[in-house]
Chain A
Amino acid sequence: MNNYFVRRILQIIPVLLIISFIVFSLVFVAGDPVALMLPDDASQEDVELLRESLGLNEPFLVQYGTYVANFVQGDFGESYRYGQDAMSVVLERLPATLELAIAALLIALVISIPLGIWSATKQNSGIDLIATGAAVLGKAMPNFWLGIMLILLFSVSLSMFPVSGRGTLAHLVLPSITLGTGIAAEMTRLIRSSMIETLNQDYVRTAKSKGLKNRIVVYKHAFRNSLIPVITITALQTSTLVGGTLITETVFSWPGMGQLLIQAVNTRDMAIVQASVFVIALLVILMNLIADLLYRLLDPRIKYN
């Protein structure tokens, strides 16, 4: 078991290196931000002068080499836009994004676990159809559209929640519903099929054939065992969840990493892009690692090697 996890953790290193290379190459191809920093009517000469002053004329490998050397020491360089250490800018924004993502995940779990189980136990019934339909609807509504509609309905018309920004718990409600809906839809479907699979397992069938009440079978046996895949399913949503914050944060002007990233990409703030992709990737990898660990701890059928 220990060996397995040591190996898993060591595997993170090449993964992070590959990611840094991919992102660095992309940003390099993207060109430097100098032209974007100057006013709209700057001439090419103005651009060249500033570029020279900032030392941005080095070739690719030299820049990448410098980058990796610094990266190993935990230095992601300085953000052009903020004139500050990129990693500290990113970390400053991390709590806001985590707050939103966790709230959205909770909402998704609250919706998807009962809905998934319920529709699985009543396969092909009207309830199943409604649950599936709702899940599809949740999946088919683009986040930005849903967010704007929620604002128009609950903030402008009903004055129930604040429109945007971060602060009280009330501020969290609409953005987390927006972000959580799509995830909930996906998870409902996954939980439903995982539950159906469990219900078809031999021991559940045996329990049923022994004459145990359906409800007891469902909750005592099937539900418990289908919770284990829920952990994996949840972890797999991390990436979608973080990706979703890009949109949700923009709609609700939530001051998290998503907005920071969009700004950074638009302004070619390479250091910020690098640092935030690194943080997001690490987050996704760790979530999956933890899920893996939990899965193995909880399911006695899996052997460690």
Chain B
Amino acid sequence: MSHESQAVINEVSEDSIRKKPSSFKRWSKLLLRSKTGTVGLVIVLFVFLVAVLAPVLAPHDPAAINAANMLKPPFWMEGGSTAHLLGTDNLGRDILSRIIYGSQISLLVGITSVVVAGIIGVTVGLIAGYYGGFIDNALMRLVDSFLAIPTILFALVILSVFGPSVITLIFVLGATNWVNYARLVRGEVLTIKERDFVRAAHSIGVKSNKIITRHLLPNVISSFIVISTLSVATTIILEASLSFLGLGVQPPTVSWGSILSDGRDYLATSWWLATFPGVAITITVLGIIFLGDWLRDVLDPRSKAK
């Protein structure tokens, strides 16, 4: 069955790349052809490694308060020392270690919330697109409702009600972002379901849930991957904004957003508190966007941009 669907797609797509999407060699070739894609992947892998190896890499305990060592500048400035390469914050904590540990939460929140959003959104999109009619109508009104409320506002209300924790944060961001996936997937399903192989499956009496999981799902996954990559970047930034409103992750947990937000009162006096987490966010977002753009160019047959 899936063989058949692949054949149909290949017919539709003019892009030769898609013939052997599973071949590692082909993928790496494609990746190397795009400079930005390569840079993106390298950055993302690097950040990922830092997050995983945080306990090994961090020179200090990120939560260790040291009253004698407050607001020390980075090592290359007067008063700085190599014990704290990027300086210390207002409680004498090592900024480098905090950024290293912060990558864990930033990535965790960014990635898992997108997964949550993806699961809800893809399910809703598949159901709405496949069944159509009243179900579609009802679900799409729900989607419209969520779309009409700005994400940050929605998150603000929920987080202030349920209290900010990493888990709530993940679910809130997931529960607000799913609509994008739902709309996208529904649109894709609407076109795919008119294709011959789906009609054929229908006519020979294949059950609906089988059609959805066997035929529709595999065909929407590539669009999903493209926008979810970019969502990870958006979410990392959104988490920082929520920290600004006092509703991001709460200490002793650290994320880049919370370090940045806590450091904002010191921007004029001790710039390093807010600058380094900002740099970490920027580089990571840059990497993710490069990677996402490349994935889009490769995976999305309609985009001919290289």
Contacts and interface: CB of A to CB of B under 8 A. Distances in A.
Q: Do they bind each other? A: yes
B141 A15 contact: yes
A11 interface: yes
Interface stretch (A78-86, A217-225, A238-246): A238-246
A19 B286 contact: no
A240 B154 CA distance: 12
Interface in A231-267: 239-240, 242-244, 246-247, 250, 261-262, 265-266
A276 to B, nearest CB: 9
A197 B148 contact: no
Q: Chain B: interface residue count, which band?
A: 35 or more
A239 B150 CA distance: 5
A26 interface: yes
Contacts of B151: 239-240, 243
Contacts of B153: 242-243, 246, 261, 277, 280
Nearest to A139: B285
Contacts of A141: 278, 282
A18 B306 contact: no
B16 interface: no
Secondary structure type dominating chain A contacts: helix
A89 to B, nearest CB: 17
Contacts of A265: 156-157, 160
Given A123-B305, A200-B304, A285-B144, A262 B161 contact: no
Contacts of A261: 153, 156
A30 B162 CA distance: 8
Interface stretch (B22-30, B77-85, B260-268): B260-268
Contacts of B203: none
Interface string A125-166: 000010011001101111111001100100010000000000
B282 A143 contact: no
Contact of A140 (B160, B241, B267, B285): B285
Nearest to B138: A14
A239 B176 CA distance: 12
Secondary structure type dominating chain B contacts: helix
A247 B245 contact: yes
A148 B147 contact: no
A124 B37 CA distance: 12
Interface in B130-176: 141-142, 144-145, 147-153, 156-158, 160-162
Contacts of B260: 142, 145
A30 B150 contact: no
Given A140-B285, A281-B148, A26 B158 contact: yes
Given A156-B268, A239-B148, A280-B150, A140 B286 contact: yes
Which 9 residue pairs of A and B lie closest in terms of their CB atoms, listed nearest first?
Answer: A243-B150, A281-B148, A140-B285, A18-B145, A243-B152, A140-B282, A30-B161, A142-B240, A144-B244
Given A30-B157, A139-B233, A281-B148, 6 more contacts: A145-B264, A152-B267, A243-B151, A265-B156, A265-B157, A284-B148
18 contacts: A15-B145, A15-B148, A18-B142, A19-B148, A19-B149, A27-B157, A30-B160, A129-B36, A140-B237, A140-B286, A144-B264, A197-B304, A250-B244, A265-B156, A273-B157, A281-B145, A284-B147, A285-B144
Interface of B: 36, 141-142, 144-145, 147-153, 156-158, 160-162, 233-234, 237, 240-241, 244-245, 257, 260-261, 264, 267-268, 274, 278, 281-282, 285-286, 289, 303-306
